[in-house]
Structure 1
Amino acid sequence: MRLIVSLFVWLLTVPASADPEFWRHEWPRTDFSRSSVENWGEILSGGPPKDGIPALSNPDFLPVAAVSGINGREPVITLELADEVPRAYPIRYLIWHEIVNDRLGDLAYAVTFCPLCNSALIFDRRTDHGILTFGVTGKLRNSDMVMYDRETESWWQQAEGRAIVGALTGMRLAALPGWMESLDAFRSRNPDGLVMAEPDHARPYGRNPYRGYDTASRPFLYSGEPPPHGIAPLARVVRVADRAWPLERLARARRLTEAEVTLSWEQGVASALDTEEIGMGRDIGSVRVQDAQGRDLPHDVMFAFAFHALWPQGTWMLGR
């Protein structure tokens, strides 16, 4: 891996632990007797402690026309809901905070991004146990962020939206149909849209602390099997439920209709995990996934190793 920023060097030097007894002093409210994890060795410390990566809540927004200082190729996570002003959450902020707890009308939701598996998902925070508020544990499972809810301090697998440790073990969050695109694309389609404002934290926003990560030969803190079919571990795939389409295949075709969904690809989005300056990353394009009625569907553009680890019985849509 070509990782040069001191943050990642620090992550590599911090010892990992997989013993719940060791974690109890930091997590006295977490019920470790309840878990769907069969092998505790799968959960590792990524380095930062609980809330060492600070999640955000109820951020400020700017009209997209007033946004300056952000390269138009930079990726944002877009949320467009009927009868609401569209919102964009720049990855330049999420790469440092990983979770944004927000509300829009009656909807409470969490915008999440795990840089190490490239998973970007929006979850409904409304549950049978009330509205949950999420933070970052500092732990990884299969190199995917482990979130926690502040209400019960249960631990959640981010890419699945599933509670894996604690009182809420087994619960799943509903995913909302957001997607990643460039700031320019969001601005063009939504001239009256809103963009999350820069947080009041001392972070070098716009810089990528994982430079060169998405062209590395292997993922960070992952010891599982590589993906099948000769697919590179850090190749991107489009996940819809338990199916994965290689992004390279979709980019060649531009549009695919399979398994009752239509996937489309457009160029013009910088990879956030390539160059040190996010806006200068190579073009990886943006993806939309829709059903037969043209409605946007929840999906994720994640690394192949993470899909294989979390959906080992999943279907690979190779088009052969």
Structure 2
Amino acid sequence: MTHAAAAPHPFPVLRMDDALPAALAAPVVAIGNFDGVHRGHRAVIGTAIDQARSLGKPALAVTFEPHPRAFFRPSEPIFRLTPEPMKLRRLAATGLDGAVVLAFDAALAARDAESFVADILVGQLGVSMVVAGYDFHFGKGRGGSPLFLREAGKQHGFGVEIVPPLLDEGAQISSSVIRAALAQGRVEQAAHMLGAPFEIEAQVIHGDKRGRELGYPTANMRLDPAVTLAHGIYAVTVEIDGVRHKGVASFGRRPTFDDGAPRLETFIFDFADDLYGRVLTVAFHAWLRPELKFDGIDALIAQMDIDSARARAVLA
């Protein structure tokens, strides 16, 4: 591992071939995919931070990009709750001292569990302790289980803590459960499991300017096709230059007009600046109704008035 000198970063992010700086030596690592950095993930991360503080060691996240499923099943894109940049920002916000991002490629997929432990956890990272969730598996054929990790820790001289599932009213919190909730428009349930409203980050593109003609100019964003958020109308907030603005958003195919590719169209209340080309973060607070086809423009505008009033009430 070689690491070129770089300006200090408030949250260092290291890659496969980067050397650990001295300040991050002998870390306690929380390991996992961490898509969503939801409350279950934060239980694992919080345990790692607590253990690191008690041992006087740094706490790091070890995570994988792209998501392993994207490598194994490229024809079935996965709905990422937090694409890599967002995931790293959320990991930074937990109080961790840094993150190590391992490239999930053919070489890593072919590495067996013992080799992963010996070469990466021990050889490259020199871990003092590993914290993982109860369902974390790693190595070729998912050969590395929590039990395997415990035994490997005894053999190689590092501590292991396995964190049990975090339950929400008896149900397990997981990224797949959150994706399923979002696919049904249950954004409040998703927010409860995530610990914050579900957010999407994307660039504002030029649309057909139809919203402006209707009295509802919208910021149009084309999302990753893998996003399976339910089509419909939502009460949202939009972050612009660090300020949260309230609004109402439609995600779907615009059946009244063109039934085109899914697009997110957000009307931001009491806001008139040009946003083309800007990257916005839209947070989903409530699902108001499904996407509908209207008989005419007047009926659509009347419904948009109702949607806006409902969104303002929800967000008040």
TM range (shorter): under 0.3
| Structure richer in helix, relative to its length | 2
Instruction: Determine which structure has greater relative contact order: mean sequence separation of CA pairs < 8 Å that are 6+ residues apart, divided by chain length.
Output: 1
| Structure richer in strand, relative to its length | 1
Which entry has the higher C-alpha Rg, 1 or 2?
2
